[in-house]
Amino acid sequence: MDTVSHAVHYIFLAAAACFVMGLHLMNHPRTARRGNTLSAGAMAVAIAATAWLILGENVISTTGWLVLTSGGVLGAALGLWAAREIRMTAMPQLVSLFNAVGGGAAALIAVGDLLQTGHPAALGARVSLPGALDIVIGAVTFSGSLIAAGKLQGVVSGAPVVFPGARLLNVLLPASFVVGTVWLVLAPDSRVALYGLVAVALLFGVTMVLPIGGADMPVVISLLNAFTGSAVAMAGFVLDETALIIAGMLVSASGGILTKLMADAMNRSIANIVIGGFGTGDSTPAATGSGAPAQVRSISADDVAIQLAYASKVIFVPGYGLAAAQAQHELGDLAKVLTDHGIDVSYAVHPVAGRMPGHMNVLLAEANVPYTQLKEMDDVNPEFPQADVALVIGANDVTNPIARRPGNAISGMPILDVDQAKSVIVIKRSMGHGYAGVDNELYTDPKTGMFFADAKKGLSELKAAVGEFVG
């Protein structure tokens, strides 16, 4: 290694340290933004250092420079545009898209590196094995993330797509990864093995994600995030760059932890989710224990407003229905009226509320809800007995008390103890089922009032009505 190369690698090490510190600063909303800026700055320096290294080596052709800068500018412009324009409700699609391009880039690097080696004999398993793994993981992530983004955006059906032979295919394709990887290690110059591996990995990404239902996407996105990280780390092995290994594995650890948290919050194993076919959407008729439909109590906006206005502690329970109705701003406005009136308001956010880990918090933050009011499940559950009113908006399964009893689809799933509140109000359009297709016992609880309305309209009405009472 020459002097420039040495210097550049010390810069890479410093950048890697900054990535770790940046992620560390993410442990509090107060410092998180600084952490991201630190990480971005380190990345910019690392990219500049790479350009310096390339200049120093002086092997790049003019066309190479042209390719490098034009590709970079195009990508940066697209990324910037997407990041600026995206709606917060569409964040999961964007993260999924960034997973796709990250994994895709990692796979392309391995393909490019294996193609460039003129003397196959010089290419030992030291490069070809991580190369093959990089191609498999990267390509699976690329096509899988695109399908996941498509499902979230509604371009691809959100319902689990299961076709005859899908299960068999999902066993055969991974088996062919093993064959392809061994082949590529034994014959690194085999183009058939190289392109074959790319093709089956791309196909598997599609067949893996298609059978997974839309509401399981928080797990899928986290898992694909972990995959991308691993693919980037493998690219690090191929190129001999520790910076890629460190950054890749940091991401992989993050994705892995979030995947586990999400699966735990649904009380399902990661394998069960990935195998798919759970939940067909929203229309599954559920078999209830008792035959006759239990009675629900319907209440009006004015009744709800009186309860809210005379409460001293109110807990909001937002679910994805709130985001789907774009009603988070109305909820934030209602909360503001109550807070100004001296009422203690907080939000109980279930880990799987939304379409990716922590999604609901971002949507509420966008509606100017201070993060001090956002409470995690374990912190807020002991507070429900003291709450005068629990207002449920667009959340269903995560509030269902039957999860505490064995023998049903959501048994054992951690839930918000909404039924412990002194009074419960549910804003809902109709008596439809949740994702799991089971009846919600909370709705038939004698202390629950059902306010049948569209979330956005209902919350505006409530705000107006409460405004009159607290005037």
Partner 1 sequence: MNNLDLLTAITVFVLSVLVGIEVISKVPATLHTPLMSGSNSVHGIVVIGAMLIAAESHTWLGYVLAFAAMAFGAMNVVGGYVVTDRMLEMFKAKPPPEKNQSPEKNQSAEKNQKAGV
Instruction: Give the residue numbers marked as catalytic.
Output: 397
Shortest distance (Å) from residue 31 CB to partner 1: 10
Residue burial 318-351, b: 16+ Cβ < 10 Å; e: rest: bbbbbbebebbbbbbbbbebbeebebbbbbbbbb
CB of 33 or CB of 297, closer to partner 1: 33
Select the residue interacting with partner 1 from 249, 270, 299, 306 (CB under 8 A). Answer: 249
Choose the binding region for partner 1 from 193-201, 366-374, 395-403, 457-465 (rule: CB under 8 A).
366-374
CA distances in angstroms from 28 to 32, 33, 36, 178, 344, listed in the order given: 6, 9, 12, 42, 23
Between helix 301-309 and helix 455-470 the angle, nearest 10°, is: 50
Please tell me whether residue 232 binds partner 1 under the rule CB under 8 A.
yes
Decide: residue 198, CB within 10 A, 0-12 exposed, 13-18 middle, 19+ buried.
buried
Question: Interaction with partner 1 in 9-38: which residues (CB under 8 A)?
Answer: 15, 19-20, 22-24, 26-30, 32-33, 35-37
Q: Is 270 in the site for partner 1 (CB under 8 A)?
A: no
What character string, x for contact with partner 1 (CB under 8 A) and - otherwise, covers 377-406? x-----------------------------
Give the separation between CA 133 and CA 56, rounded to whole angstroms. Answer: 31
| Count of residues touching partner 1 (by CB under 8 A) | 125
3-state helix, strand, coil in the chain (%, to 5): 65, 5, 25
Where in 202-221 is the site for partner 1 (CB under 8 A)? Answer: 221
Residue carrying the six token digits 């807070």: 339
Per DSSP, the three-state class of 280 is coil
Shortest distance in whole angstroms from residue 294 CB to partner 1: 33
Residue of 3, 61, 283, 430 interacting with partner 1 (CB under 8 A): 61
Q: Which residues within the stretch 74-133 sit at the binding site for partner 1 (CB under 8 A)?
A: 74-76, 78-80, 82-88, 90-91, 93-95, 98-99, 101-102, 104-106, 108-109, 111-113, 115-116, 122, 126-127
Which of these ranges, 44-52, 182-190, 196-204, 314-322, lies near partner 1 under the rule CB under 8 A? 44-52
- Residue 63 contacts partner 1 per CB under 8 A: yes
- According to CB under 8 A, which one of 181, 207, 225, 408 is a site residue for partner 1? 225
Q: Indicate whether 258 belongs to the interface with partner 1 (CB under 8 A).
A: yes
Give the helix ranges, DSSP H, for 325-450. 328-340, 359-366, 377-380
Q: Is 266 in the site for partner 1 (CB under 8 A)?
A: no
Q: How wide is the angle at C-alpha 460 spanned by C-alphas 457 and 465, nearest 5°? A: 125
**261 binds partner 1, rule: CB under 8 A:** yes
Question: Using a CB cutoff of 8 Å and minimum separation of 24, what contacts does 334-341 make?
Answer: 334/459, 334/462, 334/463, 334/466, 335/369, 335/373, 336/368, 337/463, 337/466, 337/467, 337/470, 338/308, 338/314, 338/466, 341/309, 341/466, 341/470
Minimum CB separation of residue 143 from partner 1 in Å reads: 13
In the list 197, 239, 393, 398, the residue contacting partner 1 (rule: CB under 8 A) is 239
Starting at the edge strand found earlier in the chain, the sheet holding 313-318 runs 374-376, 344-349, 313-318, 389-393, 424-428, 448-452
- C-beta of 73: minimal distance to partner 1 in Å? 7
Q: Segment 296-335, which members bind partner 1 (CB under 8 A)? A: 329
Q: Which structure tokens are listed for 359?
A: 């999604």
Q: Is 154 helix (H, G, I), strand (E, B) or coil?
A: coil
Q: Which of 356, 380, 418, 442 binds partner 1 (CB under 8 A)?
A: 356
Give whichever of 240 and 468 is closer to partner 1, judged by the CB atom. 240
Binding test (CB under 8 A) with partner 1, winner from 180, 255, 321, 458? 255
